[in-house]
Amino acid sequence: MNKNLLSLAQLSRKEIEDLISFAEKFINDDGTFKKESLFPDKTIANIFCEPSTRTKSSFEIAAKNLGCNVLDFDTETSSLQKGESIYDTVDALSLMGVDMCVLRHSESVIHELTQYIPEMSFINGGEGSISHPTQGLVDLMTITQHKETIDDQNIVIVGDLDHSRVTASFIEGISNFDFKSLTFSGHPEMCKSFHNHPKGKYEPDLNIAIEGADVIVALRIQHERLEAQDIVDIDQYKYEYQINSERLAMAHEDAILMHPGPVNLDIEISTMVYESDQCVIRQQITNGVAMRMAVLSQYLSG
Ligand code: CP
């Protein structure tokens, strides 16, 4: 069993389905999470070198629900600020007895870290624009809660796709399933790598893309990763790409709307749509804890 979760490309369909079933078992009938002291001798460090609310907090809650010791590593007051490398930082934590690092970093350092410190277990908590595997698992879990199967769905992903590690991991995960269609939509300047994509078709007109969709994944404009020349006019963007009531009505009547968060409310999604029954974004956040309990259990046992 691999003790590192670096990418969804490393998981088979069965492994994804097993993780989803495992995560469901951590949710009580009343929606609360099971608390079991399964790993009292394990210490997990959350190292988030980029901002996070959902991923970091859900990993911390998940680890505590499993009885782990959790080190909330503060990058701002750490010796990273004195120029210490991420490699020496993780090595120091390993020498102190940390068993697992959940790492978010703007660069793809996690792969080398697994070679540099092989005794440590690593979970990818977000790797630049490359990969966010646990968010992909949360998204697939949320689809299974609303659709009989992940197969046979018409899926639309809309937004700033080029900078979306969530999209990259979602595509890796969904590639294990027999989806009916996968359509990418969004401003052409934000979807340059998707104009000719092997897994789906690019449709710049969202009104066409969303027609008959079963699953819609909306994405945030990642201002922090955009170059100046990529900045788009927000009013024009909303006019063309906001998921509002009129656009949602073009999708299948039981379509679900997902978003990894954080949401720029009234930019990529209107408030009315956010508050509608078809919007499952809040459920994705809750699923984040259960899925991360499943991932931690799996990879701590690896
Ligand atoms: N979806 C997600 O990664 O959210 P955070 O940046 O808040 O962790």
pLDDT by residue (tens digit) across 43-91? 999 999 999 999 999 999 999 999 999 999 999 999 999 999 999 999 9
Which residue's CA is minimally distant from atom 6 of ligand 1? 52
222 CB near ligand 1 (under 6 Å): no
Binning pLDDT at 50, 70 and 90, where does residue 234 land? confident
Closest-lying ligand 1 atom to the alpha carbon of residue 53: 7
- Domains of the chain are 8-132+287-300 (3.40.50.1370), 133-284 (3.40.50.1370)
**Residue 222: per-residue pLDDT:** 77
Closest-lying ligand 1 atom to the alpha carbon of residue 57: 8
DSSP one-letter string for 215-281: EEEE----GGG--GGG---HHHHHHHH-B-HHHHTTS-TT-EEE--S---BTTTB-HHHHTSTTB-H
154 CB near ligand 1 (under 6 Å): no
* Phi, then psi, of 101 in degrees rounded to 5: -115, 130
**Residue 27: per-residue pLDDT:** 98
Output the CA 260–ligand 1 centroid distance in Å.
Answer: 7
Nearest Cα to Cα of residue 65 among 281, 288, 282, 283:
288
Question: How many CB atoms within 10 Å of residue 136?
Answer: 26
261 CB near ligand 1 (under 6 Å): yes
Output the CA 247–ligand 1 centroid distance in Å.
Answer: 25
Beta-bridged to residue 101, according to DSSP, are: 45, 122
Output the CA 53–ligand 1 centroid distance in Å.
Answer: 6
22-44 pLDDT tens trace: 999 999 999 999 999 999 999 99
For residue 122, the number of C-alpha atoms closer than 13 Å in the C-beta half-sphere is 26
Q: Give the integer Cα–Cα distance in Å for 153 and 57.
A: 31
**Residue 188: per-residue pLDDT:** 93
Length of the chain: 302
**Residue 230: per-residue pLDDT:** 61
